[in-house]
Amino acid sequence: MTDSSSALRHERVTVADACRRLGAAGLLIGTAGNVSVRVGRRVAITATGAVLATLSASQVTVVDLDGEVVAGTLRPTSELDLHLGVYRRYGTGAVVHTHAPMATALSCVLDELPCVHYQLLTLGGSVRVAPYATFGTPELAESVIGALEGRSAALMANHGALTHATTLDQAVEHALLLEWACGVYHHAAAHGTPRVLDEQQQLAVIEAALARNYGTTRPLDPDDVRGPEHVAHPRPAVQEESR
Ligand code: 13P
């Protein structure tokens, strides 16, 4: 160990918070999964064998981008090479790996989760399924890192899911979105062959989203307001009807 235990103290807390959030959302099972966040050349990453849903900051280890331990008392996750490889290849800020139920189920049957809903465009569109390799191996790291090309998410065949983003909050949001999309696909496929958005439909969504700054709240324009009663004193419809 080459540094004091204060290294990335805040990030160790945020990793533990993120794990508990993923657990509350039902994306975690036992000791499966691992989460990390990067600041410069340092990475705060969950310890191997830790129960993520009840994780504490003391179960988060700090390493550098070469995998050297900088702070903490527990061995880092067996998927350390996978996390570090994602940081090296994509320069991203946070990585979330889970064995979330819907994502894992589909990872056992699909080669790719097609773009059946426009929200998948947040992850880059269709989500590839990285070919299977044993957990914790360089082969698995290579397979998943390749499947992430141009994407913020990949499924891992017969294993689980991985998302990455600039911030840990975003990487968690991506994991939640991916699990939701896998659920949508699963339910749709139970009733027929899901329709897939074609390239033109996907482009139209991207254009519309950019034009509207979709997904953010915006103040009303003065022209949108018809009169003060519509904003300040909405009509008490229920009370009037009952008179
Ligand atoms: P760790 O406990 O070593 O993080 O392993 C869990 C896992 O999900 C491996 O892919």
Asked if the structure places residue 124 within a domain, the reply is yes
Interval 225-237: pLDDT, tens: 876 665 555 555 4
Give residue 78 CA to ligand 1 midpoint distance, Å: 6
Asked if the structure places residue 2 within a domain, the reply is no
Q: How far apart are CA 76 and CA 64, in angstroms?
A: 11
- pTM, rounded to two decimals: 0.91
Give residue 126 CA to ligand 1 midpoint distance, Å: 25
The residue whose CA is least distant from atom 10 of ligand 1 is 135
| Parent domain of 141 | 9-189
At residue 121, the 3 state secondary structure works out as: helix
Interval 174-202: pLDDT, tens: 999 999 999 999 999 999 999 999 999 99
Q: How far apart are CA 180 and CA 182, in angstroms?
A: 5
Binding-site residues, ligand 1, Cβ < 6 A: 31-34, 48-49, 77-79, 135
DSSP tag of 47 = B
Mean pLDDT computed over 116-129: 98
Asked if the structure places residue 213 within a domain, the reply is no
Residues in the chain: 243
Q: What's the pLDDT score for residue 37?
A: 98
Asked if the structure places residue 194 within a domain, the reply is no
Q: How far apart are CA 76 and CA 59, in angstroms?
A: 9
Mean pLDDT computed over 136-156: 98
CATH number of the domain where residue 80 is located: 3.40.225.10
Q: Which of 135, 143, 144 to mutate to test the pocket of ligand 1 (most atoms within 8 A of CB)?
A: 135
Instruction: Give the other-Cβ count within 10 Å of 149's Cβ.
Output: 11
Asked if the structure places residue 120 within a domain, the reply is yes
Contact 38, 93 (CB under 8 A): yes
Instruction: Give 136's contacts (C-beta < 8 A, 6+ positions apart).
Output: 78, 79, 81
Instruction: Give 229's contacts (C-beta < 8 A, 6+ positions apart).
Output: 235
Asked if the structure places residue 237 within a domain, the reply is no
Asked if the structure places residue 13 within a domain, the reply is yes
Q: How many domains does the chain have?
A: 1
